[in-house]
């Protein structure tokens, strides 16, 4: 179905700073897209360009097969909610919802229909008469979302709207957004810095950096098969552990060696490394904390990594060890059952699971063996 299409879109400011670079993306009507990237990657600028709040330097924006590159924001049938959006302080929630539509002089009966449907959708009835300063963060968010949805937009743009909120509240908000999306069929583009990027399985995840797309795919697929070192480190908490490792062959088995340990790689992975000429060379080894676990001195079947205990941290409902090997710091999942000294500086051995590794070229930082758009496989 026709939706929103960005064709070779770029944004360059008068001082010559290029924020968006030849950006290409198609969002189908009714799709839920998570646009994720670090601060300064250009995602806010991109949303503002889509909304018509920033000029497009070059390229084309199509909405429902119509060229809307230079169209007035009112013609685009979009609504945008910003991180710093606030309710009008002198109005209660009901008046906040009605204000923009009354200014547009919409018929009163149409306004009332929209109010009734929006109130039901977001469960706003108990707070319609409340003033903004009496609302909880969750209620404020629902009211702001309601004000945006009162316009009945075809596309909703959300720019880092949950930044700074607690983990539990963010989780509730994301669940609510998915329900709204399912009920209304509205197109949603949700921009975020990091933490929410993989909290919504089944959605499309577009990872940005330096004004362009690094990877575009189903969120779980991007998490499990990152195309490059940047995406691997960016998507997921705690971040993927990374270290330089030498590729060696011993008795027909390919293994990776690195300060503090080694790792035998699965046969398929070893074959991949050999086919791409990495014997005797260094690669970047990536392994997520969930594939590293403390052991009581014995070596695992695949390999191990020795280090010094630095502490333990809670993250996403799990406990992780933080340890150091040389100048590198790593995280590993801790189930609490293995004997680990919690004294800082104490030695700790981590077993490594070869099934959970990712390998990247030392120079290009692209995933080894992955076919990249517009590039030969590395």
Four-point Cα dihedral 276, 279, 283, 289, nearest 10: 100
Dump the DSSP string for 34-45. Answer: EEE--TTSSHHH
What pLDDT score does 336 carry?
Answer: 67
pLDDT digits (tens, 9 = 90+) for 219-260: 889 999 999 999 999 998 888 999 999 999 987 889 999 999
pLDDT score of 294: 83
Least confident span in 143-147, 207-211, 370-374: 370-374
Q: Is 0.85 surpassed by the pTM of this model?
A: yes
pLDDT at 338: 58
Task: Give the DSSP H/E element, type plus range, for residue 308.
Answer: strand 303-315
Question: Above 90 in pLDDT, residue 26?
Answer: yes
Closest by Cα among 288, 285, 304, 286 to 347: 304
Q: Are 118 and 97 in contact (CB under 8 A)?
A: yes
Q: What's the pLDDT at 279?
A: 92
Please, which residues bridge with residue 208 across strands? 213
Neighbours of 36 (CB within 10 A): 28
- In this prediction, residue 372 has a pLDDT band, given cuts at 50, 70 and 90, of very low
């Amino acid at each position: 179905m026709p939706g929103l299409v960005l064709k070779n879109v770029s944004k360059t400011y008068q001082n010559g700073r290029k924020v968006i670079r030849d950006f290409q993306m198609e969002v189908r009507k009714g799709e839920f897209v998570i646009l994720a990237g670090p601060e300064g990657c250009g995602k806010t600028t991109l949303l503002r360009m889509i909304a018509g709040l920033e000029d497009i330097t070059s390229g084309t924006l199509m909405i429902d097969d119509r060229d809307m590159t230079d169209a007035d924001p009112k013609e685009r049938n979009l609504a945008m909610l910003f991180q710093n959006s606030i309710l009008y302080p002198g109005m209660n929630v009901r008046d906040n919802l009605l204000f923009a539509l009354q200014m547009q002089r919409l018929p009163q009966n149409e306004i009332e229909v929209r109010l009734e449907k929006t109130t039901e959708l977001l469960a706003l009835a108990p707070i319609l008469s409340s003033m903004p300063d009496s609302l909880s963060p969750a209620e404020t968010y629902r009211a702001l979302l309601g004000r945006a949805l009162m316009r009945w937009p075809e596309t909703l743009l959300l720019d880092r709207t949950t930044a700074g909120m607690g983990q539990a509240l963010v989780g509730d908000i994301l669940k609510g957004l998915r329900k709204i999306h399912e009920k209304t069929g509205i197109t949603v583009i949700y921009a975020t810095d990091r933490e929410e990027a993989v909290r919504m399985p089944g959605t499309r995840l577009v990872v940005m950096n330096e004004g362009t797309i690094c990877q575009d795919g189903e969120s779980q697929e991007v998490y499990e098969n990152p195309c490059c070192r940047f995406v691997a480190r960016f998507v997921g908490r705690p971040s993927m552990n990374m270290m330089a490792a030498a590729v060696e062959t011993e008795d027909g088995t390919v293994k990776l060696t690195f300060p503090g340990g080694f790792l035998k790689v699965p046969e398929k992975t070893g074959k991949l490394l050999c086919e791409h000429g990495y014997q005797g060379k260094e690669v970047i080894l990536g392994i997520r904390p969930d594939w590293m676990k403390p052991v009581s001195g014995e070596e695992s079947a695949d390999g191990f990594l020795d280090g010094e205990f630095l502490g333990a941290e809670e993250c996403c409902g799990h406990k992780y060890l933080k340890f150091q090997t040389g100048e590198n710091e790593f995280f590993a999942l801790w189930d609490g059952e293995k004997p680990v000294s919690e004294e800082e500086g104490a030695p700790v051995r981590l077993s490594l699971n070869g099934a959970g590794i990712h390998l990247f070229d030392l120079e290009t930082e692209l995933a080894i063996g992955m076919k990249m758009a517009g590039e030969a496989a590395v």
